[in-house]
Each structure stands twice: as C-alpha cells, then as structure tokens.
Amino acid sequence: MTDQLTGREPEVGRARVRKEDARLVTGRTNWTDNITVPGLLHIAILRSPMAHARIERIDVTPALERPGVVAAYTGRDLAEGLGSLPCAWPVTEDIVLPEHPPVAVDEVRHTGDPVAVVVARDRYAAADALEAIDVDYEPLPPVLNMEAALAEGSPLVHADKGTNRCYTWPLATGEDYATVRERADVVLRRRFVQQRLIPNAMEPRAVVAVPPDTSDQYTLYSATQIPHIVRVMMAVVTGIPEHRLRVVAPDVGGGFGSKLQVYGEEAIGLAVARKLGRPVKWTESRSEGYLATHHGRDQIQDLELAATRDGRLLGLKVDLLADMGAYLMIVTPGVPLLGAFMFPGIYKMDAYDFTCTGVFTTKTPTDAYRGAGRPEATFAIERMMDELAAELGMDSVEVRRRNWIGHDEFPYTTIGGLTYDSGNYESATDKALALFGYDDLRSEQRKREERGDPVRLGIGVSTYTEMCGLAPSRILRDLRYGAGGWEAASIRMLPTGKVEVLTGTSPHGQGHVTSWSQIAADVLGVPFEDVEVLHGDTRTVPQGMDTYGSRSLVVGGVAVHRAARKVVDKARKVAAHLLEASEDDLDFADGVFSVKGSPDAHKTIQEVAFATFTSHDLPDGLEPTINAEHVEDPEAFSYPHGTHLCAVEVDTETGRVRIRSYVCVDDVGKVVNPMIVEGQVHGGLAQGIAQALFEEAVYDEEGNLVSGTMADYLVPCAADLPDFLTDRTETPATTNPLGVKGVGEAGTIASTPAVVNAVVDALRPLGVTDVRMPCTPERIWRALRDARSARPEEGSS
C-alpha cells in the first residue's frame, strides 16, 4: 500500500529482484574453493573403504615419497592436538556419547570415515599420494539394520559403550493413550519408513585454514551455514583460543542442513595449518561428500491412530527408531525431537504418546536435512489421515476438516504442548481446492477406474503446519540443547546517510541481503539501494546464531527490524535537538523527522546521521551515535501452515508416476519478498517430491554406499517436475512485530505426504495400501503384483 502523504511504497511486500544475484550469476563469486592464499597447500583425505574395521597397521611414509607431498598424518598423529567432534544436543541424561575423532585412530565405523591425511603442493599430487598409503584393516561386522542393532547379541558400533542404543526419549501428553484407545471405534496401525537421504547442496563443502601471519589470528574459511557456531566449537576442538580464531562463511552455495555442522575437515584444516604453519585447502568431490557429509531422515515409524467412527481423532501413538549413523554430530540426536511435537499436526485429539529411540549403525552420521524432524512427523500424520479416510470411506479433505483447529480457536495449545498463535486452515484449504479443481479431478478419477484405464489418477492431500523460528532459548534449555536461540543485528548509519546492516544470520541462498535491506529501508525510511547487508564473518559480525530451521527471518529479520527502530529512537533525540522541538512533537515518516504542525521544520535521517558524525551540536550528555544493535530471543515458535494438493497419473503397466498437477496454498504470515518466498516454495517442493519419488541412499549388506554417485542417487531436475501452482493466504504471526512465520522448509515438509498420498490413492482400488518411499516404478509394479495375487478374483489384467 502506498503511503498517501509521501508516495513511498513500502519495501516489505515488494517482489524485489535479489541484490545478490547479478554478482552470483555472472560468476563474481567467492566460493571457498575459489579462495587462494600465498603458499597454499592442498589436503586429500584417505577414507575407509569398509563399514567397520579395526585399523591393524597404517603407514603413511610411502605417501611422503610421492612428488609434491609435504606431509602425511594418521589419526594418531593428529589426535594430540584435536579433541572429539562435538554433539551439542545430548537429548537425555543417560545418552550414549561416543568419541568422534576427526581422523579415526583405532577403528573405522562407516565407509568414508577418515583414516589419513596427505598434504601436497597441488590437489593432484595429494590425490595421487593417497594411493601409496598402506592400511591393514581387520574387518568387524557391520551394523546396518536398526532393529537388528537393538537385538541382544548384535555386533556393536562402539564396543566400549556396550549397546547400540543411543537414547530413548519419551513424551506423553493429554489423557492416557491406552485408556483413550479403548473408546475408539477404529484403531489403525501402520509402519512407515523414512528412507535415508543425501542433502546435495549445489556447492560441495570446502575448507581453507590460514595460520597466523600478519595478524595473530587463525582464519578458517568454510562452506558452512554456521560460522559463529563453528568458531566456538573449533576453539573447543582444536584448543585455538576463540579470540584468535576468525571464521568466514564466504559465498555459500546451499546447505539444506548439510552445512549446519561442525565437521572434522574444519578441525583437520586448522590442525594441519598449525603443524605446518602453512595455509591449507580441502574441497570435497561429490562422491566424497556422499560419504563424508551428513545424511538426513532414516527413521522407522510405527504409528497407531485411534478414532471414532465419524472420523474424530482420539489419540496418536508414535514409536520411532532413528538412525544416528556411526557418530553423533552437532544435533544428530535432536533431529527427531524437532518432530516430536509435530506428529499431531493441525489436529485436535485427546491423547498423544511418543517415544523415540536413537540407534547407532555403521553408516554415515545423520543430522539435520531441510525440515529436520518435521517432514517425518508431517508425513506420518498426513499419511495416517488418508488411511483413516479410506478406512471410514470418507473424503480425505472432510476427515481433516472434522479434526483441525478452527480459525476461531487460535491461540490453541495442541496436544503436543505447543501454542499455535494463528492460522486459518479453512481458508487455505478452500483456496487450494478451488485452484486444483478438486471435484473435477475426483470425477475423472472415478471414470478412469470404471473403465479400467491402465493409467490411474490419484489425489493426495497434505494440510501441514510446522514450527519455525528456532528458537526461544528457554525452550532449548528444556530440550537440553547446548545453546540459545537468539539472533543479533546491528545497524550502522554512515556519515553520508548510507546504511550497513550487520546480521548474525548466514545466508547461503536465502537472499537475506535483499530481504534485510527491505526491512531496514522501511523502518529507517531510506532507499532500498542505500542499504548494504554484511554477514558470515565473525570479525565483521561478532555475534550470531546463523541460519537453519526457517529461523532467519523470524528471529534475525525481526532483530534487524528492532535494531532499526532503536536507530530511529536515537535519531529522534538528535533531530529534536536540531529542530529545537520536543521529541513528542516530532513525526517520523519516510525518513523525515518533522515538527507537528510546522511541516517546513524537518530533518532527514541522513542529516541526523551526518550531524551525529560531526557531533558539533548534540544535546548535553548524549552518546554521539545513532547506531544500534538488537539481540532477539523469540518469545515463541512460529507456525506456518498450508494445504498442498497433488494429482498423479500412475501407469499401472510400468509403475511410472507422473505428477499431473500440484497446487499449494501456503500461509507463511506476512511476506517480505514474494519472489523469494515463491522460490523457497518451488525448491522445497522439488526436495519433498524427491523424497517421495526419487531419492534414496542405499547401502549393501557389507555397508557400502551403493548409491554413491549422482548416476545412482537420483536428484530430480526441472524436467522431472511439474509446473507448480502456488498461492498464499496471509494470517500474520502474533508473536513478532513483523507478523512473519518463515518459509525455508514449508515446501519440503508438505509435499512428500501429498505425493505419496496421491500415489496410494491411485492404487487403492487395486488393493494397494502403501508404497515405500521412494515410490519407484518397480516398487509400484511389485505392489500392484502383490495386491493382485492377494486378491486373485479381481486380478483381471
């Protein structure tokens, strides 16, 4: 809406072209791998080819004889200066916390576990020299299956711990589930498997570690989402004092959680730089990253849903096994807990009973992957709602309507114990149904079924919510997380009236430079173009909690807003003095302070900035700055929601799924930049659909990752995806001044169940009630064949 007096259009809400993009798309970029430093050496890492083995003997000396090699180290060589890699989320008091050396010393526990490091003058020499290292492995039995891992007598991933059980974390709320269950007319039990996924950021990981030279600081450049957290953790792991360590996240090309991590290679880089006094670089190859960068998901979900005959939910019981992989990384054990509160979704019920058991296996560690816990939870409840609808012969939208929280019931405290501040599920759903043409598609579906069309139509529904804006620090304390959830921002008013915003968020594709400029420009009344946003360097922005969990706008964007308000408050004092008026008599609009009733008496905020710079005429005792900072600790999570509808055609002869149409109506609260929001939704949908139909990390029985390259791990591209029809409703959050809710993960969380529900919906008349993800053509073909042989009287084709 344009301001009627000034003609200025608010920046928040405008589809501004991203400031970042001209530079990024023309290659004026500063990826970590682009960074070069005089005297730079290159690191290559020898990795275990076995899932589980004892290192009987390792000899790196032959590598030293290779041309160009400067140094080579075993795990033992590096162990002296390096501690265990950290886990910041010990979710229970009795959690099993294994040692995690950056380079294995006695035992390797997954294929890809580092066993030796070579440092050479170029990357080729380093890679060649790896071939010369001698390692004798004594094979140990791999541990690959979570249920078998928990059985008595299973081989152990960490023999010294005596168990493969990492922790068990229970939550029971509302009435007693067993009692509620007795009232139920219907009790559904299902097992769903969240397959293991590989995050696949466009930019691989890379590290450049520079020892003290002209300053007394070490500098660590890393392709990371979390430079501030890495700085703290690397100080602990390497013993380099925190004030002597600068961490920089330069341009970072995507993360999806995989760079929300404190990695061994960062510690190795610093340790080698310290030993040699030379700068070093390591850049992973894609196939190396598939082994060495953390994986996501990997849960077995046993679910029980109790309901009445008329489709009202009574209770939900969730029993999870979560694969930790071989070690606990920064938040590995906590990922399923981010979902623990979300299994009830948007629905009302009387009892909720949740248990999660973390299990060690000899696979690459898991950790946060876009959505982190919430996609798993949303998948489970949204699949169950469709199963309930089918069981009761009810429409799948109708069964949701009967159970969701009404728009007049907010704020609403869920059975999971969260208080949803706002939402309007009716309005998002109605809009989505209309855009989708729900009734027409249902009618086409019936016609295809009646004529026995080999290509069936299926319709999938997902009415999701998620919790974003990680996180109120006190809640993190209650969850035993090792840090707070605040975010910092500072604003510098430069003498010429230009503005620098320093943010503790660490964008790696999200467009914070653009969105934060829009937020600051509106509060300060300065042009969008006059704002620069600085981030990702602990020397420039000393305080930050970084970017993950759809938190940046809700916590970091709000911090920018509040810091800018503080700037205006400070500037008001200066302006009042200059205009010889009282502060109360000043209006501030469009960057101009004016005296009420005398519009000719005014000062722009830029004039105030300059007057503060000279400080020749400030009120007595006033600190000569209008710069301000704010650290925002959110009062609550935020709860975006929406309705996603997917129509698929399934070729019952080949099992191939084609997404015919996809409609989503998301409610992410107030929107700062609609173009960025749409981009986030598109990318999120692609990743959620990828889990439903394409991607899976597959291990063989020896524990080798057989989907070890992009030829076998199928990341879909644009040609595999449909046109998305995206729209929004806008129900502002009530717990922050911008009314924003976050959008980074919404598409991923919502889309997976929408697609799988559609696939199952297409096949249900043929006797199929579930298809494991990813729903590959062969899995569907087999499901159809099994269903036919189970019901021979109906097997007509």
Partner 1 sequence: MIPASFEYARPRTVEEAVGQLALAGEEAKVLAGGQSLLPILRMRLAFPELLVDVGRIPGLRGVRTDGDTLVIGALTSHHDVVHDPLVRRHAGLLAAATATVADPAVRHRGTIGGSLAHADPAGDVPAAVLALDAELVVQGPDGRRSVPAREFFTDYLQTALRPDELLVEVRVPKADAWGFHYEKFQLSAQAWAVVGVAALVRRDDGRIVESRVGLSNMGPTPVRATACEEALAGADAAPDAVASAADSAAEGTRPASDLSASAEYREHLARVLTRRAVLAAADLT
Tell me the DSSP string of 298-327.
Answer: EEEEEEEEEE-TTS-EEEEEEEEEEEEESS
d(CA 647, CA 428): 18
Q: Cβ–Cβ contacts within 10 Å for residue 67, how many?
A: 11
Nearer to partner 1, 321 or 690 (CB): 690
Tell me the DSSP string of 740-787.
Answer: B---TTHHHHHHHHHHHHHHHHHHGGGT----PSS--HHHHHHHHHHH
Give the H/E segment covering residue 16.
none
- Name every residue whose Cβ is closer than 8 Å to that of residue 477 and which is 6 or more positions away in sequence: none
Stretch that binds partner 1, among 57-65, 327-335, 619-627, 703-711 (CB under 8 A): 703-711
Strands (E), 633-747: 641-651, 657-667, 724-728
Backbone φ and ψ of 640, nearest 5° = -60, 155
Nearer to partner 1, 136 or 653 (CB): 653
Q: Which of residues 267-306 bind partner 1 (CB under 8 A)?
A: 285-288
- From 56, 138, 587, 653, residue interacting with partner 1 (rule: CB under 8 A): 653
Tell me the DSSP string of 338-363.
Answer: HHHTTTTTTB--SEEEEEEEEEE-SS
Can residue 702 be called a binding residue for partner 1 (CB under 8 A)? Answer: no
Residues in contact with partner 1, shown as a per-residue x/- string from 606 to 625 under the rule CB under 8 A: --------------------
Minimum distance from residue 310 beta carbon to partner 1 (Å): 42
- From 31, 528, 610, 781, residue interacting with partner 1 (rule: CB under 8 A): 781
Can residue 386 be called a binding residue for partner 1 (CB under 8 A)? Answer: no
Can residue 711 be called a binding residue for partner 1 (CB under 8 A)? Answer: yes
Minimum distance from residue 693 beta carbon to partner 1 (Å): 9
Stretch that binds partner 1, among 19-27, 152-160, 676-684, 706-714 (CB under 8 A): 706-714
Stretch that binds partner 1, among 544-552, 580-588, 635-643, 715-723 (CB under 8 A): 715-723
Q: Which of residues 129-148 bind partner 1 (CB under 8 A)?
A: 131
- From 233, 776, 783, 784, residue interacting with partner 1 (rule: CB under 8 A): 776
Minimum distance from residue 85 beta carbon to partner 1 (Å): 25
d(CA 252, CA 505): 13
Pairing of strands 313-325, 351-360: parallel
List the strands of the sheet with 351-360, edge to edge.
165-174, 351-360, 313-325, 296-307, 186-197
Nearer to partner 1, 215 or 654 (CB): 654
Residues in contact with partner 1, shown as a per-residue x/- string from 27 to 66 under the rule CB under 8 A: -----------------x----------------------
Minimum distance from residue 529 beta carbon to partner 1 (Å): 36
d(CA 200, CA 14): 31
Minimum distance from residue 658 beta carbon to partner 1 (Å): 12
Q: Which of residues 719-758 bind partner 1 (CB under 8 A)?
A: 719-720
Minimum distance from residue 200 beta carbon to partner 1 (Å): 13
Can residue 777 be called a binding residue for partner 1 (CB under 8 A)? Answer: yes
Nearer to partner 1, 44 or 156 (CB): 44
Task: Name which of 45, 44, 50, 46 is nearest 705 in CA terms.
Answer: 50
Nearer to partner 1, 327 or 694 (CB): 694
Asked if 7 and 592 touch (Cβ cutoff 8 Å), the reply is no
d(CA 92, CA 6): 57
Cis peptide, bond prior to residue 471, ω within 30 of zero: yes
Minimum distance from residue 259 beta carbon to partner 1 (Å): 19
Pairing of strands 628-632, 641-651: unpaired
Q: How many helices (H) and strands (E) does the chain have?
A: 21, 28
Nearer to partner 1, 203 or 666 (CB): 203
Can residue 635 be called a binding residue for partner 1 (CB under 8 A)? Answer: no
Stretch that binds partner 1, among 214-222, 543-551, 585-593, 710-718 (CB under 8 A): 710-718
Q: Which of residues 539-598 bind partner 1 (CB under 8 A)?
A: none
Stretch that binds partner 1, among 238-246, 562-570, 641-649, 772-780 (CB under 8 A): 772-780
* Dihedral sign of CA atoms 470, 489, 370, 697 in order: negative
Nearer to partner 1, 172 or 698 (CB): 698
d(CA 554, CA 544): 14
Nearer to partner 1, 25 or 124 (CB): 124
> What tokens were used for 398?
């109708």
Can residue 712 be called a binding residue for partner 1 (CB under 8 A)? Answer: yes
Q: Cβ–Cβ contacts within 10 Å for residue 343, how many?
A: 28
Residue 216: C-alpha distances to residues 212, 213, 233, 243, 720 (Å) = 5, 7, 19, 9, 51
Which of 15-39 are b and which e, b meaning 16 or more Cβ less than 10 Å from the residue's Cβ?
A: ebebbbeeeeeeeeeebbbebebee
Q: Cβ–Cβ contacts within 10 Å for residue 723, how many?
A: 8
- From 40, 79, 127, 186, residue interacting with partner 1 (rule: CB under 8 A): 127
Tell me the DSSP string of 433-480.
Answer: HHHHTHHHHHHHHHHHHHTT-SEEEEEEEEEEE--BS---HHHHHHTT
Stretch that binds partner 1, among 52-60, 163-171, 527-535, 702-710 (CB under 8 A): 702-710
Residues in contact with partner 1, shown as a per-residue x/- string from 654 to 693 under the rule CB under 8 A: x-x-------------------------------------
Asked if 696 and 703 touch (Cβ cutoff 8 Å), the reply is no
Q: Which of residues 67-126 bind partner 1 (CB under 8 A)?
A: 123-124
Stretch that binds partner 1, among 182-190, 472-480, 481-489, 712-720 (CB under 8 A): 712-720
- From 61, 582, 709, 769, residue interacting with partner 1 (rule: CB under 8 A): 709
Minimum distance from residue 383 beta carbon to partner 1 (Å): 23
Minimum distance from residue 286 beta carbon to partner 1 (Å): 7
Residues touching partner 1, count (CB under 8 A):
31
Where does this chain bind partner 1 (CB under 8 A)?
A: 44, 123-124, 127-128, 131, 285-288, 653-654, 656, 694, 698, 706-707, 709, 711-712, 714-717, 719-720, 776-778, 781-782
